Amino acid sequence: MPVETWRWQKVEDESRWVFAAYNFLEIRTPVLEHTDLFARSVGVDTDIVTKEMYTFQDRDNDLLTLRPEATASVVRAYIEHSLYNEGGVHKLYYMGPMFRRERPQKGRYRQFSQIGAEVLGSDHPAIDAEVLEMLVLLLERLGLKDFALLINSVGCPACRHEYLKKLGQALDNVKGNMCEDCRRRAGTNPLRVFDCKVEADQPIIEKLPHILDYLCPECLQHFESVKAELGQREIKFAIEPRLVRGLDYYTRTTFEITSGALGAQNALLGGGRYDGLSEMLGGPPTPGFGFAIGEDRLVLAVEQAAHFKPEPIAAFIVWMSHEALLPAVTLARELRRQNMSAEILYDAMKMKKSMGLASKFNARFAIIIGENELASGRYQVKDMGTGQQEEVEISRVAAYLSDALKKL
C-alpha cells in the first residue's frame, strides 16, 4: 500500500545506486520458466523443488514454474544469449517477485521480492569479498547497524565427494532418530540434512562432521583468501560451518547476513559461489558468485531502523476565489515543470480545510492565491514547518520556492 511503498522505493533506489557504483547492469528475466531449469540447478532434493514450487502444465503440456529464485534464470539467459562470447566478467543485478509455497508468517511469504546480483566469469576470491563489501555498503546506506555476516565454504565436487562419504557414514548411525525428511536426505543428498529446521534434530546435526574439515587444498586456499580479502576491507564476519544454504548449485563460499531487527525469520540475504552452475545448465564452464536479498525483510529491517521519512510534497496550492483557479493551475504547472512537486485540488473549499489538507499531504509550503493576491500581484507563501508567511511576486514564486527547498 502507498503508506509503505515509499520504503520499498527507497530500498530499491539505494540498491540501484550501489549496484551502479560497482558497475553492475540490470537484467530482467521472465517470471515463468521451464520447471526443468530449477530441478537441474536448485536440485531435485531441495525443499524448494520438492515442496515449494508453483508448477503447472501449460496448454501444450510444457511444465512451467513461477520462479522460486532468479540465479538459475540469470545463468540461463547468460547461456542463451551467449554473453560468454564477449569474454570478461559480467556483473548483473535484478529485482522482482519470487514464489515459494512456504508456510506464511512474518517475513515469510508465498510471493516475496528479491533484490539480487550475480558476477559471472571469475573465480577470484576478491570477487566474493568485493560483493560482500558492496552489500555492507548498501546496508549501511540504508541505516542498518545490527547485522551479522556468516560465511562458510562448501568446497567443490572433488572435496565434497570425500566429505559426503563421511557424512553418509555418520548419518547411518543417527538417521533412525531423525525426521522423515532427513532419513530420506541421508540416502539421496546428505548435505541437505543441514537445511533441517526440526528442533529435535538439531543436537544430532550439531555433531555431524563439517565440510570445512574436508576441503581440498585449492578450496581451502580460496576460503583463506576470501577471509584475508574481507579482513583487508575491514569487513567483520563469523564462520558458520553449518551454512550450506538450501540449494544444490553452491560451491566454495556460502554466506548469509542476519539482522537483529527481524524476528524468527532473521536471514536478510544469502548467497555464494556457484562455479559449476553454467555447465549444469548446458553452458560453458563459467564461475559465478551472487546473492539474493529478501526485499520484504530488508524493508522490515529498515522500518525498525526508522532512518527514512517519506518524501514530502513541495507545494500545496490554495485558491480562494473562482478568478484564482486559472492562476493556481498555471503555477502548479510551472512548479512541476521546474522539478518541484505540487498539489492542487479543484473543489472550492474554505481556507481552514485547505490548510488542513496541506498538512495532511505533508506539504513543505502552501501557496495562497485569493482576490487580494491577484490584485497586488504577490502570492502568499507559507512555510508549513515554521508557520512563517511571506508575500512573493508572482513571477518569482517558482525561483523563491526552489531556493527555499534547497535550504531545508
How far is the C-alpha of 317 from the C-alpha of 336, rounded, in Å? 12
Q: How many residues bind ligand AMP (CB under 6 A)?
A: 18
Closest distance of CB 280 from ligand AMP, Å: 17
List the interface residues with ligand AMP, window 88-147 (CB under 6 A): 100, 102, 107-109, 112, 114
Q: Which stretch binds ligand AMP (CB under 6 A): 208-216, 217-225, 288-296, 301-309?
A: 288-296
Q: Which residue is nearest to ligand AMP (CB)?
A: 294
Q: Which residue matches cell numbers 560451491?
A: 251
Which residue in 296, 354, 381, 392 binds ligand AMP (CB under 6 A)? 296
Which DSSP category does 295 fall into? Answer: H
Extract the C-alpha cell encoding 120. 559471472
Q: Which residue in the set 155, 270, 283, 287 belongs to the binding site for ligand AMP (CB under 6 A)?
A: 270
Minimum distance from residue 263 beta carbon to ligand AMP (Å): 13
Cell 541505516: give the residue.
143
**298: exposed, middle or buried (C-beta count within 10 Å: 0-12, 13-18, 19+)?**
buried
We find the least distance from the C-beta atom of residue 108 to ligand AMP, in angstroms, to be 4
Residue 168, C-alpha cell as written in the block: 553418509
Residue 268 interacting with ligand AMP (CB under 6 A): yes
- If the CB atoms of residues 151 and 381 are measured against ligand AMP, the closer one turns out to be 151
* Interaction between residue 248 and ligand AMP (CB under 6 A): no
Q: Burial of 18 by CB count in 10 Å (0-12 exposed, 13-18 middle, 19+ buried)?
A: buried
CB of 129 to ligand AMP, least distance (A): 19
Cβ proximity to ligand AMP: between 242 and 336 the closer is 242
Q: Are 205 and 242 in contact (CB under 8 A)?
A: yes
Q: Find the shortest distance in angstroms from Cβ 3 to ligand AMP.
A: 20
Buried/exposed code over 334-357 (b: 16+ C-beta within 10 A; e: otherwise): ebeeeebbbebeeeeeeeeebbeb
Contact string (CB under 6 A) for ligand AMP, positions 48-87, x = contact: ---------------------x------------------
Closest distance to ligand AMP from the beta carbon of 348 (Å): 48
Which among 293, 208, 188 is positioned nearest to 248, based on CA atoms? 188
Binds ligand AMP by CB under 6 A, chosen from 190, 276, 287, 294? 294
| Residues in Cβ contact with 179 at an 8 Å cutoff, skipping those fewer than 6 apart | 196, 198, 200, 201
Please report where in the chains the cell 570477487 appears, as a residue: 127
Contact residues for ligand AMP (CB under 6 A)?
Answer: 69, 100, 102, 107-109, 112, 114, 245-246, 267-270, 292, 294, 296-297
